[in-house]
Amino acid sequence: MEEMEVIIDTEEIAEFFYHELIKRGFTPSDKEVLELADIMFDYLIAKSIIDEEWEEG
């Protein structure tokens, strides 16, 4: 299988969760959706779906 580069932005994940929760009748706070985004990011790392890399500079 070919390896491809994927950039995961936790703020983008947070925005996605926010809109999806609103559609489902929830009213999440900004802090709650950021926590969910961080949890999702950690999950993707734990499942070896992504690798965390740090930008230099």
pLDDT at 54 over 80: no
Q: State pTM to two decimals.
A: 0.77
Residue boundaries of the structural domains of the chain? 10-46
49 vs 32 pLDDT, higher one = 32
Interatomic CA distance for residues 13 and 4, integer angstroms: 20
Q: How far is the first Cα of the chain from the last one, in angstroms, to the nearest whole number? A: 32
Interatomic CA distance for residues 56 and 2, integer angstroms: 26
| Interval 35-48: pLDDT, tens | 999 999 999 999 98
Q: Which amino acid, 20?
A: E
Residue 25 DSSP symbol: T
User: If you search the block for the tokens 């932005």, which residue do you land on?
Assistant: 9
